[in-house]
Chain A
Amino acid sequence: MLFYTLFLLVTTFSVFSLDENPAKGLLSMLNIILLIVPLVSIMFSTIYLYNSAEFIELLVSQPLKRKTIWLSLFIGLSASFSFSLLIGIGLPIIIFQPNAIGAMLIGIGIILSNVFIAIAMLSSVKTRDKAKGIGFAILVWLYFTILFDGLVLFFLFQFADYPLDKIMIIISSFNPIDLSRILILLQLDVSAMMGYTGAIFKDFFGTSSGMIISFSILMFWVFFPVFFSIRNFNKKDL
């Protein structure tokens, strides 16, 4: 965990100090937050949960509710990840980019970490086999970062003759990474997003109600996996 914090801190600092153009630094930050943060979150959480399987068994034998144990595991992971992110990315951003984009990056980073911790918890409770669980975690990450966008692009080319703007907004909410990317994009590429269909997205995501809706969808992405994992954990034969 300390290593992760340090890694984030070093990369963020170097990204911002390497280039005199802060906009380029922000772009690299965007990639770190959209690719590395979810990967580390989901992998670390999965491995952690499998490694502490015996400890969890021990806890279950104590007079504690299973729900409390599972939730405290989630809160522990979430707190440590959010904290590393705050230090690792928050600190350099406060120094180099103390503005709305910076705040957005930190906020989105924290939410994305939590989303992927929640997914990791669900996947690790579903499968008993460690190798299978980790494989599944990698697959989930791969799906959300690359495969999903590829499918969307394919869908877009196939149905280019139809008005897709509203459908695209709905589709994007099926992928927390896409949703986060669009939210940051609206801050970063505001000039381009004001043009053409960009304006439609801006009308939705840029307004405060759209912002609230998209943030609540992201929250759902945290809440639902955690909720289902608790249900599964309650019934699970350890």
Chain B
Amino acid sequence: MKMICYILTLLICVDSFGANVLCVGKSKQFISITAAICSAKDGDTVIVYPGHYYEKNLIVNKKIYLKGIGYPVLDGQKKYEVVSVKANAVVVDGFKIIHSGVSSIEDLGGIKIYDSRDVVIKNNILEDTFFGIYTQYGKNCTIQNNELHANNLEEQQSGNGIHCWKSDSMKIIGNTITGHRDGIYFEFVTNSIIWRNTSFKNIRYGLHFMFSNNDAYIANLFTANGAGVAVMFSHGVKMYSNTFQENWGDASYGLLLKEISDSYIEGNVFNKNTSGIYMEGASRLLVKKNSFENNGWGMKIQASCMEIEVGNNNFIGNTFDVSTNGSLVLNTFNNNYWDKYDGYDLNKDRVGDIPYHPVSMYSMIVEKYPTAMILFRSFITALLDKTEKLIPSITPEGLKDNKPQMKRKF
């Protein structure tokens, strides 16, 4: 009891002696936020009441809690970067940020964090911004529950939604991003988590990863982005329970993996993509418990991949389950459920007695002569597939599932 009393008194003291609350609004203490920040000290709270604020470039260079009540609007007038955070442990909460300037040289953003740590950006709405929330040299920052909309039509005139560059220990949680170039973009970002975000209808990628090691992205939803999700030149990436869907088009992939190693892909759903996963130069991946449904190609594994373990996945209703471009196979497939498997199970152990070859002859032909797609599902191609099954000559003999499951796993 005594202890609690001490703590309470301490808290009250800190509150009454240390931090002030500064109010900004029409009939309040301050009319502009810039003025309020000017007279604030580290640790103060600045409360902004509803209104339309033209602050040009609002620079937050003190450790303050910037709180918007009823979404006050910060307008960048299509000229300025709206909020620049240049101090540690700043919180920006509850603003509506609109019309940032557009500049490819300066990468103007709705909110930009410069060389700071422990910054929290939460509950904001960003509309018509060039870059949405931009972090450079950030550390342990949280970007949470923001909504980002942009209506750009061209890749060149548009920035990324949440862009992190050379940052560490970032937490990107529960944001909704649409209409930007890349929904979430990571470059040289390490030890970070991307959790429960929704990224849809972005011009290029829903999520774009470059040279970012040891990150995790979990339970995100990526829908109908121009080219799906791309993870490149990274290692130690964990991808769990994400949904990749409706990424349609020539160069569009549910998940594009290029030069990825030592990573985990687990419990994801790939639905209605032209290609569920496309792998190139990937090595030492564990792909398990994923569901590939109604894709054009479930997985495209190029011959440049090695030591990829594909196990316990469901392949249902895909036009082609797996395709590859060579005869060299350094990957293993085990215990998957394939709806095209037509083998039998005599000893009733729920494992098919004959191995399943997921690469059909026709997928090899289509890989080589794409125009042959026009003959797909014709009698002659079915005939070719059957002959190939009896006497394999074109399809890689080593690419097979020795333990195909009779029933779907989950």
Contacts and interface: CB of A to CB of B under 8 A. Distances in A.
Interface stretch (B77-85, B147-155, B269-277): B269-277
Contacts of B248: 191, 194-195
A108 B383 CA distance: 23
Interface string B359-402: 00000000011111111111111010000000000000000000
B371 A185 contact: no
A145 B375 CA distance: 11
A95 interface: no
A193 B373 contact: yes
A195 B376 contact: no
Interface stretch (B8-16, B177-185, B202-210, B316-324): B316-324
A24 to B, nearest CB: 7
Given A199-B250, A201-B374, A192 B316 contact: no
Contacts of B259: none
B296 interface: yes
B373 A149 contact: no
Contact of B374 (A24, A157, A172): A172
A199 B249 contact: yes
B317 A23 contact: yes
A196 B249 CA distance: 7
Contacts of A165: 371
B1 to A, nearest CB: 65
Contacts of B318: 191
A146 interface: yes
A53 interface: no
A185 B376 CA distance: 8
28 contacts: A21-B339, A146-B380, A149-B378, A152-B374, A153-B380, A156-B372, A160-B368, A160-B371, A164-B371, A165-B371, A168-B374, A178-B375, A189-B377, A191-B294, A191-B319, A192-B274, A192-B296, A192-B297, A192-B373, A194-B249, A195-B249, A195-B274, A195-B275, A196-B373, A197-B371, A198-B296, A199-B249, A199-B250
Contact of A153 (B249, B297, B320, B372): B372
A201 B371 CA distance: 9
A21 B317 contact: yes
Contacts of A194: 248-250, 252, 274, 296
Interface in B81-103: none
A182 interface: yes
Interface size class of A (residues with CB under 8 A): 35 or more
Interface string A115-154: 0000000000000000000000000000001100110110
Nearest to A202: B248
Query: Quick one: which of A149, A156, A192, A201 has the most chain B CB within 10 A?
Result: A192
Contacts of B376: 185, 189, 192
Given A191-B296, A199-B250, A152 B373 contact: no
Closest 4 CB pairs of A and B: A192-B296, A192-B319, A195-B274, A191-B296
Nearest to B320: A192
B358 to A, nearest CB: 15
A20 to B, nearest CB: 10
A196 B323 CA distance: 14
B295 A185 contact: no
Interface string A184-211: 0100110111111111010000000000
A201 B296 CA distance: 15
A150 to B, nearest CB: 5
Contacts of B381: 149, 153
A151 to B, nearest CB: 10
B370 A196 contact: yes
Interface string B279-307: 00000000000000011110000000000
A35 interface: yes
Contacts of B273: 191
A149 B365 CA distance: 14
A66 interface: no
A30 interface: yes
Contacts of B274: 191-192, 194-195
A175 to B, nearest CB: 10
A35 B297 contact: no
Contacts of A185: 376-377
Contacts of A150: 380
B63 to A, nearest CB: 50
Nearest to B372: A156
**Residue from A34, A188, A194 with most neighbouring chain B CB atoms (10 Å):** A194
A27 interface: yes
Given A149-B375, A191-B272, 18 more contacts: A24-B339, A35-B379, A145-B379, A149-B378, A149-B380, A153-B381, A156-B371, A164-B371, A185-B377, A189-B296, A189-B377, A192-B373, A194-B274, A194-B296, A195-B249, A195-B252, A195-B296, A198-B370
B339 to A, nearest CB: 6
Contacts of A168: 371, 374
Given A21-B339, A191-B248, A191-B295, A182 B379 contact: no
A191 B318 CA distance: 9
A156 B369 contact: yes
Contacts of B377: 27, 30, 181, 185, 188-189
Given A160-B369, A192-B320, A181 B249 contact: no
